[in-house]
Structures are given as structure tokens and as C-alpha cells.
Amino acid sequence: MQSKAGYLAGKLIELLLTLLLVSLLVFAAFSIIPGDTARVMLGPDASESQVALLRAELGLDKPLAVRYGSWLLGLLSFNPGTSYAYNMSVSELIAQRLPVTIGMSAIAMIMVILISYPLAVLSARKPGRLGDQICSVIGHILFAIPPYVASLLLILLAGSLFSLLTVGNYVSPSDDFIGYVGCLLLPSFAIALPKIAMSFKFLRSSIIEQRTSDYVRTSKSHGLPDLKILIRHVLPNSNVSSITIISIILSDILGGSLIVEQVFNLPGLGRLLLSAISRRDFPLLSGIVFYLAFITVILYFISDIAASLADPRIRLK
């Protein structure tokens, strides 16, 4: 078995190599997109000399290797450049929109955990019974509903019919934190619905699998009640699979929030990303994509470390 330090060092090397590969793929993908950024910025009536001058100002006339090196250095210093469209630092623009996307993702993840865990425990205690079947059917239905469809339904039901929560009016956390959480509840719930079903399904399967293990039968033979066995032994041994699925769900939530932001008219990274795409704003576009990929890779790295701590058998040579 590897030591904790050796395992951590190996994972750090994997993390750095993955981020380097991601940066290369992001840069390459946006560099080969057809079209001329300078021409898009100046319009079709601009002369070739004007386009060439702007390309030189933006550094677009330099070789790809030089441009990639400069861009990579900017990423390492958290300064991937200046937005062509907004004439502002990319890092500043992302920092302004990040509270929306991160806030929605965090609230959605809390909802997933608070709802899916109790449902999975209740369902797995008596598999095949009526309660388990009802939970499973509801889970299948929720899993089949895309987040943008759930968003429209929630706007119709909660926003228009009952006027429970404000829809489309964003409140900054610095102005009113309660209002900030309130305006993100509906979109977060729309994102969380299919993820609740996913988490419920995996957790239920893991708990049922653990309940058939030898240590559970031994505990029962010693007279321990089912609930005590479930809480003390079954749930801790289900942690590895639950950690893995939660990291996957969290990365999916982060990506799904970009679409839901558009439906709820929230000023998050989703709107900024679409604006960058339409204007061919390469520094802003590549910065958003890379930092989202960076967060995802970090989440998987943390889940690997957490899983190895929960089950030392993972640290095998």
C-alpha cells in the first residue's frame, strides 16, 4: 500500500498534467474556430489595413505557440487577458458573475444531499415494498426531466401562479444575502431535481449492497437493531461510492447551471459565455471554459483524496 504522502503526490502530478492538457485543448479548440476576431469586432465595412492593425494590437498575428505561452502564463497568474468586447480584465468579469453560478451550484448540491440521502435510506431499508417502489418511480420521472424544462415548470407554478418567489430579479449577496438566496432557490431546485434522482439511485443501490454483506449479518447475530447497524456500519461503508457520485453530480450541476441561468434571466457565467461566443471574445471565452474545467478537475481531485481517506484500500500500488 502506498503511503498517504505518496498517494497525494501522485494525484497532484495527475492534477497538474490534466490541467495542462485542458489548457492546450481549450486554446487549440478556440484557435481553429473559423472566422476572424478582428473582422467581427470592426464589422464587414472595415478595410484590410484596419483589420491587420487590430490583429497586431490584439496579438493575433503572432505564432500560435507564442500566443499559447502568453495565455498560459496569464492563466497561472489569474490574468488570462483583457476582454475584447468589454475592455475589462477577464478575471474581473468572471469574479463579478461567479457568485451567481457558484451560489446556484452550492444551493442545488445542498438540496441534493438533504433530499436524496433520507429517501435512499428509507427506500433501502425495505427494498421492494410500496414505499420503495413509489420513490423509485418518482426518481425515474425526475431523472427524465431536463433542467430547462423543470425551470419553465417552476416559473409557471411557483413564480406565476402562486407568486412564492421572485423570478428574474437578481439580488446581490452584498446588498441582501437573504434576498440573494431567495432569488436562487427556484433555479437551484430546477438544477437539483434530476440530480436528486441520480444520487438517490446510486445511494440506494450502495446501501442495499452493503446490507447483504457479512458484517451486517454478524451485527444482526449480536442483536444490534437494524437502524443502529444502518447508521453505524452501512452508511460509513457506503461513503466511497457516495463521495464519487457526489463529485460527478457537483460537476454536472456546475455545467447545468449555465443553461438555467438563461431561463431565469440571472447574470451568471452562462450569459457571459454566450456573449463571449457571439462576439468571438477569445480571452473571455477561453478564460470561462478553462476556469470551469479547472473547478471540475479540482472537484475530482478532492473526491479522490476523500475516497482514499474513507477507504485506505484505494491506495494500492
Three cell numbers at 176?
Answer: 441582501
By the 10 Å C-beta count (0-12 exposed, 13-18 middle, 19+ buried), 44 is classed as exposed
pTM of the complete model beyond 0.85: no
Half-sphere exposure of 305 (CA within 13 A, CB side): 16
Helix (H, G, I), strand (E, B) or coil at 82: strand
Q: In whole angstroms, what is the distance from residue 99 CA to residue 92 CA?
A: 12
Domains defined for the chain, CATH in brackets: 97-279 (1.10.3720.10)
Q: What is the pLDDT along the chain (317 residues), one digit of tens a residue?
A: 456 677 777 778 888 888 888 888 888 877 776 666 676 666 667 777 877 787 777 777 777 788 888 888 888 777 777 787 788 888 888 888 888 888 888 899 899 989 888 888 888 777 778 877 888 888 888 888 888 788 888 877 775 555 555 566 788 888 888 888 888 888 888 888 888 888 888 888 887 777 777 777 777 777 777 777 777 777 777 766 777 778 788 878 877 777 888 888 888 888 888 888 777 778 888 888 888 888 888 888 887 777 677 666 555 44
